[in-house]
Structure 1
Amino acid sequence: MIARFLWLAGVASASIIASNASAQDAPQPAADNSESAEQATGRGEVIIVTARRRAETAQEVPLAISVIRGDSIEATGNFNVVKLQQLAPTLQVYTTNPRNTSVNIRGLGVPFGLTSDGFEQGVGIYVDDVYNSRVAAATFDFLDVAQVEVLRGPQGTLYGKNTTAGAINITTNQPTFDFEARAELTVGNLNYKQAKAAISGPLSDTVAARIAVAATSRRGTLYNVTSQRWINEQDNLGIRGQLLFKPNDDFSITLSGDYSKQDPECCGTVFVRVGTTQRPITRQYDELVKAINANPNPAFPGRNYAVPSRNPYDRLTDLDSSLNAGNKIGGVSARIKWDVGPGTLTSVTAWRFWDWKPENDRDFTGLSIVSKSQNPSQQDQYSQEFRYNYESQKIDFVVGLFGFKQRIDTQGTEQQGADASRWSLTGANAGNPSILQGLTASNTQWLKSTSAALFGQLSWKVTDALTIQPGARLNYDKKSGFYQRIVTNGQGQAISCVTTPGNPLPSVLAAQCGVYQPQISAPSDSAWNFTYDFNVNYKIAQDVLAYATYAKSFKTLGINQNGLPLNADNTVNFDAGTVKPESVNHYEIGLKTQFWDRRATFNLTAFRTEIKNFQATVNGGQFGTVRGYLANAEKVRSQGIEADFKVVVSDRFTAYANGAYTDAKYKKFTNAPCPPELSGGTLQPANQPADYSNAGVPNTLSPRACDISGDRLPGVSKWAFSYGAEYNIPVTLLDKDGQVYLGVDGNYRSHWNSNASPSIYTEVKGYALTNFRAGFRGEGFDIFGWVRNAFDVNYIENLQVAPGNTGLIAGQPGDPQTWGGTIKFSF
């Protein structure tokens, strides 16, 4: 396998240009080491990172890391975590709304699809050393960000139990004892408006403060013909304040607080396509629509339903349920740094909250099938970390303690509408709207999670060139959850779906129980886990570092908190209540080089990650449960190569490019739910091999489960690239000395699948996006115009399988061409 990787690396280095996305920005202050002297003499820029919990140059860190500067983030319009994938091609971010956001690295991390409170993410997100436990709680706009470090590969030793795929380390600008201020205003098409401001300075000789605010609004990109409104808009507000107390050079306390509010009418979908399932043809999407039109509901006189467009890029939808993606995120933290003896003691204490108020159209149509769907959640999390950093000529180490406590409460409501009986029932029941109309599932759930960890990492400089770096982390986790669903009929009466032998449910009640069933569960479990890694790195030459890493990592057990799937006889499948922890083995080799007086950087990485009991989100195709729930795949493997290249040709021209080949697949998943083309029919006989020969053939038998071993993981493109370049010319304009500049950046990704069990109906075509910017900048100002998705490429961000096995596929198109202008001033 290593030989294959080296061969692939050679091919990659000859055929692609790839780079660290931080290439085109101004250098950061140098670390307190020999690099600073070299920087002062003109030997290229030195990028300082804190990936190993201490300040050091990016090229000295023996791991794959992308560093994206704040200026680069702003210049390319990547204003939150979701947009970062345009600069870091091994990062994949998918979102149907802030809560249902997946952040993956190398195809691994969060199970692709709808999220649940009962399992953990595999990409840790940190802001100024504070862990954000839910991806949804990290979907805020970037506010006064200095840089973002994307650490690829398991980071369990220093970043915690659930960083099996990597970590995102976000650093904000800190208070200064010199006065500084900046302001920024952007306007564009789609009524886009964004304003940012930050001010920092001393309050006394020992106290400094910084405050930053940002507001963003934009008209939606989809037009809802039912509400006659543009939806999927942006409406964001954020504020961050920091207070620094520094009585001397050895001691400092930084108090931080932030608040972010998002209140858009979001997040709707459009009709994308219909794929034939194994249901009887009369029970599939087009025929069901015909049946509804042929048997008009008195509640909708004169209606002749048709989707407003079958072309998703017309950006028309007809969703009839309320939409909302209200999101409030915030918290406070205290970071204490104290130089004690030969090292530094750091304490980080934090409290964070997340308040989520969604409303969705669960059936993805303008029909009143699911008339209400909402699952508001409230989270409180508390964390405390102590760590001690020691550095010497031969030995560096970090040791620490971490504690974490979290509670999430959720109150869900889902209600059937006037068209539900015709859509979901058969025979005489289909013609009786009252059977399902008003049928309501009210869910109450909570999750308590407690974690504690002891960790350490040692760097032993065996020689000036050779360093050995072992690390370990001992984790304890305890989870307890509660879930209760109460189902009431249209008259508000609670129903029971309990049967006794020889006493089947009455027809009407059986029909209602086939849609929603009361459930109650209270899972609880705890576990100890041990994570470790071992890295060997060798400095071949002054600016050439080679390294090899092995890591043993894990992701803790999961609980299905949002309802359990049903068996074939409509009984609850309690076996799906919990899922096993993931077990990760990771191998990586890399080469980090700089040349041409450090004006050029080329880094190359090859990796292989194997996961047993991979936690995958699967689709049950039922109204009565969450569309996605968690299950274990026996084995998953992700392997590939990544290359990063940047060059600073002169003060006039800089360029970067990066690329990744990722081969991520289910090595063994023998009991997976079937994709829609193999679902919806009467189940095949038990204890017989599954027959896949009638995929997409109506009224045929469906496998009870599918073996998808060998299929690619969802959401992962085999090939992904990004690039950028900027050229400037010195000029004097309006008595101002400065530079006129032209910049371009873009990204490409090959095709990928948008369903946990890959389907022929959820294949997403590859696409390439290109952005341009041009402007004039000088001392303290920058004025530029920009065009994003300059060639107005039509592309899909994600596809979703509608419940009920009707064959309906809905999706969200990516942003069309947008353009505007930005003006920035600093003092």
Structure 2
Amino acid sequence: MRFNTRLRTTVSAVAFGAAFSIGGVAAAQDAPTSVDDIIVTAQKREQSLQEVPIVVTTLSQATLDGAGVKDIKDLQILTPGMTVTSTQSEASTTARIRGVGTVGDNPGLESSVGVVIDGVYRSRNSVGFGDLGELSRIEVLKGPQGTLFGKNTSAGVINIISEAPSFSPEANFEATAGNFGAWGVTASVTGPLSDTVAGRLYVGTRKRDGFYDVVTGNGPRTETDDQNQDFWTMRGQLLILPSENASIRLIADYTKRDEYCCVASQVRVGPTVGIVNALGGQIAAPTPGFGEVPFSRTTYSNRGTGQTMEDMGLSAEANIDIPSWNATFTSVSSWRAWEGINGMDLDYSTLDIMYRENNGGYGYSLDNVTQEFRLAGATDKLDWLFGVFATREQIRRDDSYYMGAHYTPFLSMLLSSSLNAANPAIPISPGLAGCITAPGMTAAGIVGCVTGQTAPTGPGFGSGHAVQDLYTQTTQSVALFTNNTWRVTDKFDLTLGLRYTMDEKKLRGLQDNVGINGLACGGAIGNMTALATALGQGNPVAGAPAAQTIIGTMCLPWANPLYDNRRISESFDDGELSGTIKASYKFNDSVMLYGSYAKGYKSFGYNMDRVQTGIMPNASLLFPSETVDSYEIGLKNTLFNRSVLLNLTYFDQTFEDFQLNTFLGTAFVVESIPELTSRGVDADFAWFTPVEGLVLSGGFTYTDTKYGDFTAADLTSPGNFPQLSLLPGARASFAPEWSTTASVAFDRDIGNGLKFGFNLTGKYMTEFNTGSDLLPYKMQDGFGVLNGRITFGSDTGRWALELWGQNITDTEYKQVAINQPLMGSAFQNTVQPDGSFYDPARDSQTYAAFLGQPRTYGLTLRLRY
């Protein structure tokens, strides 16, 4: 009895076996027959889903197994209104809810959608990519969570609860084999170590070949596939029951990944393909008129994309009942360490232009300590909770660029081509980079070299290590919070939650150029008048625009001398009040109406990257906090003898200073967009049918997520406006108008000690743009993905054999599209009639995309003792 009591009162150890998913697969070994079986801990206490005035998608262990969910990227097929993507490494994993999320791999930005695993807040989404182990359930909370879940989040929370140790001995084994050479083995054991201590140990390893075929050119890359899988993980737990009124849960985990990821495939090839081919390189062949190229998983990369990740941590949760107060005191302590290192081919071609080596020079690490105390109790009229949360976090980011042998000739030919097109009367030398940096070059010599009359004598840009930056950010945060529900009457409840957060962040850094590359930019600037005169045929005013183009290209962020030994030292602190107020009214036991207001907050931070424009010796890298005001009104219905769930919610969210991180082709830009609104409807449905073992479920999210109108003057760096000029008043990226899920699940005994089941889960999303700058070639048409699983096994669960498929229809789609670095340009210097700086007729950009996973299939054998 003591063990059951402790599990019931320990939030992270709740063992909820109901096989149900709102918007996901349902049905498993202990499938519920009533909506009342669905329990959530969205308010840090066990409650029926239908009594919680929050939009929550709750996914049981059987649901997750049925849909093949192993990490948070898999999770999106079960959750309407949610997308999860990754780009240049799996460390760049981004979750979005209702079209709201923060993209990119810049660790200076916290996540809009937070991840909490067993009560421990994880400050970056990348920690959720990987085998999550044995799961009790996952809860996806939509909308700002500004009270209870660690650091505040502005768009939602993914709350992951793993299986706790059990005093009933059990052992599990799983072996999987699939296409792309996939195989995996996991094993776990749990049981008593004494009368008061139970343990659980989980270990697993998975491997798979890559999804991309890679053309390597002259190398030195040797891998001919990419985005493989190769990792192992271990998780050990102890559940200690020192007395009738206390429990302690200890968890230690370790994960190691050693993989190569991620190349991108061309989706549109622009005119720079001629330069690539002229220098002996390869990218995808362009289509007539430089339109979209056919979908292909063939990519081009002469440099390696090796990535290693290491994730480890310890946590301790203690719960002490205080009977005299009818309350429970909870302490959650944690230490986490995460590190990721990447190699990268920055030009996504077989030319040797720019790259990053997997030698520790590019990546980031995160060390984090958290402590939370909560005291929660209840009276006849009041459920109350008070707490304090503190964290200290240190992030270190290293950034490193290498110039390849093709950088100088490629840049010279790129400039020559663009300037010859703009000034056909003036032949421009294909050795332009060498002209500008020639030592002792006179003005007359510059003119002669630029116009091709004399040969270049300068070194141009040097090959090898060009950039080495280091950033270290230390964060200290303390928050006081409370969440209380007053039962005004038997039917009417009021909930008030408040949280005051105090954040302090310090940034120390060094940005430095290596070698002679800063000299090239300095030479261009020093010869600006001579350049303008040559390009203007003796008229420096006429030639000034072309000269500025040369200087802009020669002085890209990795070659600008303003970054030579640029030291950074900044600190900032601020406080923010967030919280919620909710009112709910039960018309009867089956229908509840609720309304809520919530204030969310995502902390300020520092841009740990070089900027493309507005470089100043002492310019601050600080960006402000993001806030959101959210209103919801919802109706929760439990119908037909409590066998049908039908929930509807209207939401209206307004974000201020939305933290946008977008890649402009040569640098990531962090900008605070004045306003972003997200309005729409969430709907969830489930039917526990009269047919034994058959459950139908589904859901949809309709969103209208748009940026407010703004001008250059509203931005922190007005010079960024041309590349963001498509945003004002437009639908945000990754914000499909409709996102729908549906599932059917069947699971029942068929006699002779056997059981048969199947799951079919699908998701469809209407079109959306996959680029933060909203360029048209980054649009993704509406598409659907279908996962399925057929299970045959013993009715006791001792063994089961599963035939499964992910993306069964082999749907082809883009995750994220990007501007391929240095391969053309999309935004021009001329304002168009619509106020943007984008002219489709002058779009010469080559676009690449990180693609969705192809069809995978295989067999899984499960054994349980």
The TM-score range, normalised by the shorter chain, is: 0.7 to 0.9
Q: Give 1:136 shift.
A: 1.8
After superposing the two structures, state which structure 1 stretch, 199-208 or 137-146, moved more.
Answer: 137-146
Is 1:724 matched up with 2:706?
no
Give the match for residue 791 of structure 1.
809
Give the match for residue 768 of structure 1.
784
The 3 A distance-change label for structure 1 pair 500 and 187 is: closer
Q: For residues 545 and 605 of structure 1, what CA distance do their matches in structure 2 show?
A: 12
Q: For residues 281 and 105 of structure 2, what CA distance do their matches in structure 1 show?
A: 36
8 Å contact from structure 2 (residues 50, 636) kept in 1: yes
Give the match for residue 653 of structure 2.
609
Is 1:101 matched up with 2:93?
yes
Provide, for residues 374-407 of structure 1, a one-character-per-residue CA deviation record: whole Å limited to 9, x for no partner. 5222211000000011112100011100000011
| Secondary structure at the counterpart of residue 314 of structure 1 | coil
Matched AA of 1:316:
T
The 3 A distance-change label for structure 1 pair 501 and 712 is: closer
| Secondary structure at the counterpart of residue 668 of structure 1 | coil
Give the match for residue 451 of structure 2.
none
Q: For residues 396 and 190 of structure 1, what CA distance do their matches in structure 2 show?
A: 52
Q: Give 1:248 shift.
A: 2.6
After superposing the two structures, state which structure 1 stretch, 664-673 or 130-139, moved more.
Answer: 664-673
Give the match for residue 551 of structure 1.
598
Equivalence map 1:367-406=2 (5 Å): 367-372=351-356, 375-406=362-393
Give the match for residue 83 of structure 2.
92
Q: For residues 335 and 309 of structure 1, what CA distance do their matches in structure 2 show?
A: 57
Is 1:366 matched up with 2:350?
yes
Is 1:637 matched up with 2:677?
yes
From 45, 55, 75, give the equivalent of 1:54: 45
Q: For residues 755 and 618 of structure 2, what CA distance do their matches in structure 1 show?
A: 66
| Secondary structure at the counterpart of residue 157 of structure 1 | coil
8 Å contact from structure 1 (residues 670, 708) kept in 2: no
8 Å contact from structure 1 (residues 307, 366) kept in 2: no
Provide, for residues 274-295 of structure 1, a one-character-per-residue CA deviation record: whole Å limited to 9, x for no partner. 35xxxxxxxx4234335xx1xx
Give the match for residue 858 of structure 2.
820
Q: Give 1:271 shift.
A: 1.4
TM-score by length of 1: 0.85
8 Å contact from structure 1 (residues 459, 468) kept in 2: yes
Q: Give 1:221 shift.
A: 0.7
Provide, for residues 158-205 of structure 1, a one-character-per-residue CA deviation record: whole Å limited to 9, x for no partner. 124431111111000001111112111111111111222111100110
From 253, 265, 272, give the equivalent of 1:270: 265
Give the match for residue 810 of structure 1.
848
Provide, for residues 546-579 of structure 1, a one-character-per-residue CA deviation record: whole Å limited to 9, x for no partner. 1100012222212111122224xxx448657222
Give the match for residue 559 of structure 2.
516
Give the match for residue 779 of structure 1.
796
Q: Give 1:741 shift.
A: 2.4
Is 1:347 matched up with 2:331?
yes
Give the match for residue 278 of structure 1.
none
8 Å contact from structure 2 (residues 330, 375) kept in 1: yes
Q: For residues 212 and 705 of structure 1, what CA distance do their matches in structure 2 show?
A: 47
Give the match for residue 14 of structure 1.
none
Is 1:706 matched up with 2:737?
no
8 Å contact from structure 2 (residues 300, 350) kept in 1: yes
The 3 A distance-change label for structure 1 pair 87 and 523 is: same
TM-score by length of 2: 0.81
Matched AA of 2:805:
V
Q: Give 1:140 shift.
A: 2.5
| Secondary structure at the counterpart of residue 633 of structure 2 | strand
Equivalence map 1:176-255=2 (5 Å): 176-226=166-216, 227=222, 229-255=224-250
Give the match for residue 137 of structure 1.
127
Q: CA RMSD in A?
A: 2.8
Is 1:477 matched up with 2:503?
yes
8 Å contact from structure 2 (residues 22, 58) kept in 1: no
Q: Give 1:540 shift.
A: 1.4
8 Å contact from structure 1 (residues 333, 351) kept in 2: yes
The 3 A distance-change label for structure 1 pair 601 and 482 is: same
Q: For residues 732 and 148 of structure 2, what CA distance do their matches in structure 1 show?
A: 27
| Secondary structure at the counterpart of residue 708 of structure 2 | strand
Matched AA of 2:770:
S
The 3 A distance-change label for structure 1 pair 509 and 435 is: farther
Matched AA of 2:121:
Y
Is 1:66 matched up with 2:57?
yes
Equivalence map 1:16-35=2 (5 Å): 19-21=22-24, 23-25=26-28
8 Å contact from structure 2 (residues 475, 505) kept in 1: yes
Q: Give 1:320 shift.
A: 0.9
Give the match for residue 586 of structure 2.
539
| Secondary structure at the counterpart of residue 209 of structure 1 | strand
The 3 A distance-change label for structure 1 pair 557 and 496 is: farther
Structure 1 residues not aligned, in runs of 5+: 1-17, 29-38, 276-283, 297-302, 675-685, 691-701
Give the match for residue 12 of structure 1.
none
Is 1:667 matched up with 2:708?
yes
| Secondary structure at the counterpart of residue 62 of structure 2 | helix
8 Å contact from structure 2 (residues 250, 317) kept in 1: yes
Q: In proportion to residue count, which structure has more helix?
A: 2
The 3 A distance-change label for structure 1 pair 274 and 751 is: same
Give the match for residue 658 of structure 1.
699
Q: Give 1:439 shift.
A: 5.5
Q: Give 1:819 shift.
A: 1.4
Aligned residues: 742
The 3 A distance-change label for structure 1 pair 355 and 404 is: same
8 Å contact from structure 1 (residues 345, 388) kept in 2: yes
The 3 A distance-change label for structure 1 pair 43 and 220 is: closer
Q: For residues 469 and 335 of structure 1, what CA distance do their matches in structure 2 show?
A: 26
| Secondary structure at the counterpart of residue 159 of structure 1 | coil
Q: For residues 35 and 97 of structure 2, what CA distance do their matches in structure 1 show?
A: 29
Q: Give 1:98 shift.
A: 2.2
Provide, for residues 119-141 of structure 1, a one-character-per-residue CA deviation record: whole Å limited to 9, x for no partner. 21121211110010111223221
Rg larger in 1 or in 2? 2
Structure 2 residues not aligned, in runs of 5+: 1-20, 217-221, 288-292, 416-428, 435-455, 532-549, 825-844
The 3 A distance-change label for structure 1 pair 572 and 287 is: farther
Matched AA of 1:801:
N
Equivalence map 1:614-625=2 (5 Å): 614-622=658-666
Give the match for residue 9 of structure 1.
none
Identity %: 28
Q: For residues 250 and 385 of structure 1, what CA distance do their matches in structure 2 show?
A: 20
After superposing the two structures, state which structure 1 stretch, 66-75 or 603-612, moved more.
Answer: 66-75
Q: Give 1:411 shift.
A: 2.1
Equivalence map 1:535-614=2 (5 Å): 535-567=582-614, 571-572=615-616, 577-614=621-658
After superposing the two structures, state which structure 1 stretch, 452-461 or 391-400, moved more.
Answer: 391-400
Q: Give 1:724 shift.
A: 1.0
Q: For residues 66 and 304 of structure 1, what CA distance do their matches in structure 2 show?
A: 49
Q: For residues 184 and 250 of structure 1, what CA distance do their matches in structure 2 show?
A: 36
8 Å contact from structure 2 (residues 726, 775) kept in 1: no
Q: For residues 593 and 462 of structure 2, what CA distance do their matches in structure 1 show?
A: 64
Q: For residues 502 and 648 of structure 1, what CA distance do their matches in structure 2 show?
A: 76
| Secondary structure at the counterpart of residue 584 of structure 1 | strand
Matched AA of 1:229:
T
Matched AA of 1:779:
T
Matched AA of 1:317:
T
